[in-house]
A and B are shown apart, each in its own frame.
Chain A
Amino acid sequence: GAGVSQSPRYKVAKRGQDVALRCDPISGHVSLFWYQQALGQGPEFLTYFQNEAQLDKSGLPSDRFFAERPEGSVSTLKIQRTQQEDSAVYLCASSLGGDWTYNEQFFGPGTRLTVL
């Protein structure tokens, strides 16, 4: 079966532009996560959805970051007025159940964002 997919795989944006990153989780997975990964570091939590409900957005670095999952499947991470410090790999992961602490997360390949 298909795994988690993300698009685009690479995105170059000029500072100040808005970008939208898409995540297609594994079908039927309840939990969906977004992470930001800087070079040489571990993934850093951004936000968590259970179905369409965004239950935790405490990791979003500023109000320029916005995520949605309107129908409980596909999710979009939007970054407004991009800054150079937003350059990173953005990873999406999904997990089967709502009790995700006891279930593995399946990661997508990530979107590498470069802000010039």
Chain B
Amino acid sequence: QQPVQSPQAVILREGEDAVINCSSSKALYSVHWYRQKHGEAPVFLMILLKGGEQKGHDKISASFNEKKQQSSLYLTASQLSYSGTYFCGTPSGSARQLTFGSGTQLTVLP
């Protein structure tokens, strides 16, 4: 089942903060975050694991609430380069599948 992302789109000015949320209807043991710029490949940002372990980007932080089956990505002091579509992905099926949400389009204006 596809995770649900919110908001669908956000526009902010350089230097402002943003939060992107990802929620699932089923138990999660990891959440993956990727960013995709228009016409380009998705790029890895972070993996959050059950138990609090994180792997990924130094300048982006995230949280993972296992009980609420939610994850949030925190973008602080946004830069123009942060613009793009952010996807969360969760393992599903036989756990060999990564199911992505429909994305949050982030636009950072000068």
The chain A residues found within 8 Å of chain B, CB to CB, are 4, 33, 40-45, 48, 55-56, 58-59, 91, 93, 100-110
Contact = CB atoms under 8 A, between A and B. Distances in A.
24 contacts: A4-B41, A33-B98, A40-B103, A42-B87, A42-B101, A44-B100, A45-B97, A45-B98, A48-B96, A48-B97, A56-B96, A58-B94, A93-B42, A100-B98, A101-B29, A101-B95, A102-B30, A102-B49, A103-B47, A105-B44, A107-B34, A107-B41, A107-B43, A110-B41
Contact of A42 (B47, B94, B103): B103
A105 B44 CA distance: 7
Given A41-B103, A43-B87, A108 B96 contact: no
Given A91-B42, A102-B47, 10 more contacts: A4-B41, A41-B102, A43-B100, A45-B99, A101-B30, A101-B98, A104-B56, A107-B34, A109-B41, A110-B41
Contacts of B101: 42
Nearest to A4: B41
Contacts of B55: 102, 104
Contacts, number: 65
B97 A56 contact: yes
A103 B49 CA distance: 11
Contacts of B103: 40-42
A94 B56 CA distance: 17
A108 B36 CA distance: 12
Contacts of B2: 42
A43 B40 contact: no
A103 to B, nearest CB: 8
A105 B98 contact: yes
B110 interface: no
A4 B30 CA distance: 24
B41 A108 contact: yes
A106 B43 CA distance: 7
